[in-house]
Amino acid sequence: MGLDPISIALAAVSAVSTGASIYKGQQADKQNRKAADLMRRQEQLKSLQERRNYIRSARASAAKAAQAAANQGASNTSAAQGGLGSIISQAGAGLSFLDQYNTLSTQIGNVSTKANRAASQAQMYGGLSQLAMQGAGYFANKGGKPATTATGATQGPPVS
């Protein structure tokens, strides 16, 4: 019993469309990785600007405090030195927070990229599995009736 032309055409269309789906899925995955890289670079630039602003603000505060102490003739007192030390310490703590935040943002981006890639691959393998199941149902059918799944749904085109 030979294969009819319609069944062959349907199988060919199914194979070609699965191949195209896999190819497009790979392209989408590649573009998602590029977008994630660009977003990371954007966050790094933003972080760098925040860091500069934070340092600038801390320096301005330290300069104001030093000027105020000098105006009062107390620039060499322990109170003035303690105030400047406090400003410097707070600036260091703020910069440390920014560093930790940036590290977490990078880790989140990396995990998100991996999750998107895994989802894309799962979808691709699901399509391949469906194609294989259709082919198996088609070729397992010798009586000319469509094969059925466990739920009773038909699989593959009928054999003539």
Cβ 23 vs Cβ 123: under 8 Å = no
**pLDDT at residue 153 greater than cutoff 70:** no
Q: What are the angstrom distances between the C-alpha of 129 and each of 61, 108, 120, 125, 132? A: 65, 31, 14, 6, 5
pTM for this structure? 0.56
**pLDDT at residue 71 greater than cutoff 80:** yes
pLDDT digits (tens, 9 = 90+) for 76-123: 889 888 988 898 888 888 889 888 988 888 888 888 888 888 887 888
Q: Cβ atoms within 10 A of the Cβ of 2, count?
A: 8
Give the pLDDT confidence score for residue 126 in this predicted structure.
79
pLDDT digits (tens, 9 = 90+) for 9-56: 777 777 787 778 778 878 888 888 888 888 888 888 988 898 898 889
